[in-house]
Amino acid sequence: MAFIFAVTKCANEIKESRYRFLDGEVVLYESIDTSFTYLDKETKLFKVVNVLM
């Protein structure tokens, strides 16, 4: 979790990494959140984990 926090914090410091498309328009966000996938070994199912900054 600390690694994900550090990478997202660094990405938020780079203006170009905060651009997204919204309804066909390019938008610059003040900050971004991240998400990643996690494989649950017991169920063999992938889970999507959203990390809010």
6-45 pLDDT per residue, tens: 989 999 999 999 999 999 999 999 999 988 898 999 999 9
Is residue 1 very low, low, confident or very high in pLDDT (cuts 50, 70, 90)?
confident
The pLDDT, as a whole number, for residue 3 is 87
43-52 pLDDT per residue, tens: 999 999 888 8
Q: Which domain holds residue 11?
A: 2-51
Is residue 5 very low, low, confident or very high in pLDDT (cuts 50, 70, 90)?
confident
Q: Which residues pair with 20 in a beta bridge?
A: 27
How many domains is the chain built from?
A: 1
The pLDDT, as a whole number, for residue 25 is 98
